[in-house]
Amino acid sequence: MHFDPVTDKPLHVDFYQIKRGQKIDTEVEIEFTGEAPIAKEEGGIVVKNITSIAIRCLPRDLEKVADLKIDLGKLKSFEDAIYVKDIELPEEIELLTDPEDILVSVTEAEEEEEEEAPSLEEEMEKVEVEGEGEAEGEKPEGEAAPAEAEAPKEEGKGEEKPKEKKE
């Protein structure tokens, strides 16, 4: 089905006609049930590699695999894995997915090495070092250079002319 992206109204629907007695190829979703004992006891991580399998069967046989469930309780060590070939399918259903593919396995959790966060003093030192890098004669905006701020007026010349700002 195709839907309008703005209104979500159906725009187009494709219907397929199947012939009586002809097998169809389809995918069936796998539902994982239970909890892997090794993940619970040892803190392992359950890795689900495949969430659906491809099969070939008659349309009437699809109801036999509608609720395809895999019990994770079989994973009792880190070496254990559940393969596609471990799925019990009725005889009339042909498996198209490679039987040697791993459905689910458990891996050991790796500990992350924590880097030490820089202390506040180290951060303050960085700020000071960055401020010292300015060339002489340059001044940050809004600050007057020390020589200009304390320059005495020459006697007898009257008022000083205001200096032009360079932009």
Residue range 76-89: mean pLDDT, rounded:
90
Q: Is residue 161 part of a domain?
A: no
CATH number at residue 65: 2.170.120.20
Query: Three-class SS string for the chain?
Result: CEECCCCCCEEECCCCCCCCCCCEEEEEECEEECCCHHHHHHCCEEEECCCEEEEEECHHHHHHHCCCEEEHHHCCCCCCEEEHHHCCCCCCCEECCCCCCEEEEEECCCCCCCCCCCCHHHHHHHHHHHHHCCCCCCCCCCCCCHHHHCCCCCCCCCCCCCCCCCC
pLDDT of residue 108: 83
Q: Is residue 21 part of a domain?
A: yes
Residue range 31-53: mean pLDDT, rounded:
88
Q: Is residue 61 part of a domain?
A: yes
Domain count, the chain: 1
| pTM over 0.85, yes/no | no
